[in-house]
Amino acid sequence: MKKKNKIKITVNGKQTIINSNFSLKNLVDKLEIPLNKIAIEYNREIIDKKKLKKILLSKNDKVEIVHFIGGG
């Protein structure tokens, strides 16, 4: 079996290696993050959560995944 190509991206400031054919949706699923509790920024652009499947990740992409925490 042919080894899948991998790419390096940055997720929440950490270097992460993923399959080269991954979409943003694949990434969120892999991280097991509940979609209804987060927002996603892709290369500084906020992404409509309904369109995650359409965005294919490329080398050196920067993804930020945020949620609500306690604050005053």
Partner 1 sequence: MKNKDKFIIAKKNYSSRLIVGTGKYKSMTECAKAIKISGADIVTVAVRRVNISDKNKPLLMDYINPKKITYLPNTAGCFSSDEALRTLRLAREIGGWKLVKLEVLGDKKTLFPDAIETLKSTEVLTKEGFKVMVYCNDDPLMAKRLENAGACAIMPLAAPIGSGLGIQNKINLKIIRNQTKLPVIVDAGIGQASDATQAMELGCDGVLINTAIAKAKRPYEMAEAMKYAVISGRKSFLSGRIDPNLFGSASTTNNGII
Binding site for partner 1 (CB under 8 A): 11-14, 16, 31-34, 36-41, 46-49, 64-72
Name the token pair of 42: 């892709």
Q: By the 8 A CB rule, do 7 and 16 touch?
A: no
Q: By the 8 A CB rule, do 41 and 66 touch?
A: yes
**DSSP letter, residue 28:** H
Amino acid in the structure at residue 34: P
Pick the closer one to partner 1 by CB: 6 or 30. 30
The least CB distance from residue 30 to partner 1, in Å, is: 10
The least CB distance from residue 47 to partner 1, in Å, is: 8
Pick the closer one to partner 1 by CB: 6 or 51. 51
